[in-house]
Structure 1
Amino acid sequence: MNIDFSAISGSIPFILGGLGITLKLVALSALFGFTWAIVLALLKISRIKPLNWLADFYTSIFRGTPLVLQLLIIYFGLPQFIGTIEPYWAAVAAFTLNSGAYISEVIRAGILAVDKGQREAAMALGVPYNQTMKDIILPQAFKNILPALVNEFITLTKESAIVTVIGLGDVMRRSYQVGADMYKYFEPLLFAGLIYYILVMILTMIGKLIERRLRQSD
């Protein structure tokens, strides 16, 4: 058994070069996915039944199929109809659509957990529905679901590694390339794992910090 981490020392800058792609991919997908999730959650609690059914059907599709399959359909399948898609934007689209489905359920649960009396009081005072949701219901819901949201973003960070299957040069792809060049996979892949672990720990600490500040503001 021959493990030598010094053998990849010259390749570390190359692997770290993929960190920018990973971070941009996760950040943009999280932003778009969160925005899309809010729309889906509002559709799910709408009084218009067809909108409920549409949002629930959408969620069932993206929660009931593998993320890697969704990514491959967008990157390899859609070009048959709309032309070539860049790997980065294919990944953003797949993660946005997928995370939106999962996060929408979290947001929906958070909205329903808010006391109905507050919504009824706002209606009695003549506050428009949109303003009630924006200024009263959603802020409270987000405070309640913050730990679950952080977990979803952590999951997104780890799942971003699957973009290696479409050739996007993220951390995982570059570590695999280093392993292929050296015929030694253990060291570069373990180094990639360390990078993802550090990212997850940072997200966890940020989540705890925000949660602590929200508790102090009560």
Structure 2
Amino acid sequence: MFPSYEEIITWMPDLLGGLSVSVQVTALSLLFGIPFGLLLALGVLTRNKALRYVSLFLVEVGRGAPALVLLQFIYFGLPSVGLTVESFVAAVIALAWNTGAYTSEIIRASLQSIAHGQREAAEALGLSRTDELRYVLLPQGLRVALPALLGFSILIFQGTSLCFMITLPELVSRAYEIGSNTFRYFPALLCAGALYACISIPAALLVNHVEKRASFYTQR
């Protein structure tokens, strides 16, 4: 039997608390992951072989291993070598690594999409490689990458649902807890899905708007 409206209202504080944890993990994962992705992209493009191979290793592991495996490796695996982290920290580290690995490819492709004439103009002006990167490549490359980065941010937010496997009290974990207490898993998980949609759908519309604006300015 589907729960009454009043009963669903009593679930909301727990579900909203779990949603708050999911949003915090998402924000921190992006805060650390996107700059990490930029560093990995630059590392892959560098002429230094050692740095390039290390960057490629981190990218391939971060992209090749499922996020759930990274979560369990950090939370359950690191204690075996004497490194114990809380579930929240483990979630941020794993998802930031996953974010960095994927966004590095987005950023690298965006940097490489810049017309070669821009580089030649920078060299003609006598800019150093650092100034060329700072004033010419990054501003244009990040603008190209922005829609894809925003789209990936939605995937990371949805990916926080995996964190219930490491006992993080995020949204899905709270929904399962409500289900175990009331034996109404379906409506509890349905409410959790509705809360995910309340954030993901407007965010997707925003990404679509940003992508259209970026396409408009590119064509001008």
**Counterpart position of 2:53:** 53
Map 1:119-130 onto structure 2 (within 5 A): 119-130=119-130
Question: What runs of 5+ residues in structure 2 fail to find an aligned partner?
Answer: none
Where do residues 131-142 of structure 1 align in structure 2 (5 Å cutoff)? 131-142=131-142
Distance in 1, matches of 2:24 and 2:172, equals 15
Distance (Å, rounded) in 1 between the aligned partners of 2:26 and 2:201: 15
Look up the match of 2:157: 157
Cα distance in 2, alignment partners of residues 49 and 216 from structure 1: 37
* Larger mean Cα displacement after TM superposition, 77-86 or 172-181: 77-86
* Cα shift at 1:205: 3.0
Q: What does residue 86 of structure 1 align with?
A: 86
Which stretch of structure 1 is more off in the superposition, 181-190 or 147-156? 147-156
Matched, 1:100 2:100: yes
Alpha-carbon displacement from aligned partner over 1:8-48 (angstroms, at most 9, x marks no partner): 33111211111211111101101110000000000111122
Pairwise CA distance, 1:5? 4.9
Q: Aligned with 1:17: secondary structure?
A: helix
Q: What secondary structure is seen at the aligned counterpart in 2 of 1:44? A: helix
Match of 2:180 in 1: 180
Question: Within 2, Cα distance between the matches of 1:213 and 1:151?
Answer: 15
Residue 3 of structure 1 aligns with an amino acid whose one-letter code is F
Cα distance change on mapping 1:82 and 1:126 into 2, 3 Å: farther
**In structure 1, how many angstroms separate the alpha carbons of the residues matched to 2:126 and 2:81?**
48
Structure 1 alignment gaps of length 5 or more: none
1:116 corresponds to which residue? 116
Query: TM-score, structure 2 length as denominator?
Result: 0.91
Asked if the contact 1:5–1:187 (Cα under 8 Å) also holds between the matched residues in 2, the reply is: no
Following superposition, the deviation at residue 90 of structure 1 comes to: 0.6
With structure 1 as the length reference, what TM-score do the two structures score? 0.92
* Cα gap change, 1:132 to 1:82, in 2 (>3 Å): farther
2:2 is the counterpart of 1:3: yes
Aligned-residue offset at 1:212: 5.2
User: 2:147, 2:210 within 8 Å by CA — same for their partners in 1?
Assistant: no
What is the one-letter code of the residue matched to 1:8? Answer: I
Contact kept, 8 Å, 2:33 with 2:96, in 1: the verdict is yes
Distance 2:213 2:106 in 1: 21
